[in-house]
Structure 1
Amino acid sequence: MEISPLRSYSMDILYNPYMFLPYYHVPENYVHWRETPESHIYSANLPGVRKEEIKVELEDSRYLIIRTEAVYESVEPAKRFMRKFRLPGRVDLDGISAGYEDGVLTVTVPRRGFFIDPADLPENLHITATASAA
C-alpha cells in the first residue's frame, strides 16, 4: 500500500496561512478569538507593554476596543496597538473581564443565555407537528 505524500501531512499544516513565513510569524496586531459555550475569549500578545498602558473599552455597546496608550514620554516612540471587534449578539456586557499576565492580555466576554424553567411549562404539552418516518 502506497501512501500519498499529501496525505501524510496534517490539515492544519496544509491550510495554515503563515506556513510560508519564517518561524510561523504571527502579525504584530493579531488577536486570537475563540468561542466556548460560556463565553467569547480574546487573547492578544503584548510583550513589553505595561498594564497601565492597556485600555479595554466598549463603544455603543456593540464594539470591543483593545488599545495601548503611552503613559509616559520616552526617548523611543511608543508602540501603538488598536483592534476593534464587533461583539456578537446576546453577550453580558456587565460581565466582561480582562487579565494581563506574562505579556498576554485575555478579555473574556460571557454569553447571556436564557433558561427555561421546567416549572413554567404547561403540564399537558400538545404535539403540534410530528416527524415523518421515511
Structure 2
Amino acid sequence: MTKTSSLLCVILSLIQCNQTAFAEKLTQPAYDQFIAEQTRIVNETKAILDQPNQEGDAQKQRWAFCQRLTAYEEIHKVSEENHELNMAPIMAMVAKKFLDRQVQSMHNSGMTAAIFCKNRGD
C-alpha cells in the first residue's frame, strides 16, 4: 500500500510539474507589457486590413492577417494561463471571440488559418 501511495504521489507530482512547465506564469507588470506588445502588433495591421484604402498587395494583407491572428492566439493562451491577473479573463474572452469569428469565416470560405498562414514567411 505504501508503494502504491508513493507511486501515486510521484505521478501526481510529475503531472503538476508538466502542467507548470507549459504554463507561462507572469507578474502583473510582465502581463501588462505582453498585452501592450500584442496590441501594438494588432494596431500595426490596421492600416493594411481595416482601412477603406487598404495598403499593400494580397501578400502583405495575408501577412498582416496572420500577424494579427498570431497576436490574438498568444493573448488568449497567456491570458488563460494567467487568469488571476487583472484584465486577463476579459482579454482571454475578447481574444477567443475574435479567434472563433476568424475560424468560422475561414471555414465558410473552405480554408483554415493553419493552411492560410502556413507559408507566410514571418
- TM normalised by structure 2 equals 0.29
Higher strand proportion, which one? 1
Which of 1 and 2 has higher RCO (CA within 8 Å, sep 6+)?
Answer: 2
- TM normalised by structure 1 equals 0.27
Higher helix proportion, which one? 2
Which structure has the larger Rg over C-alpha atoms?
A: 1
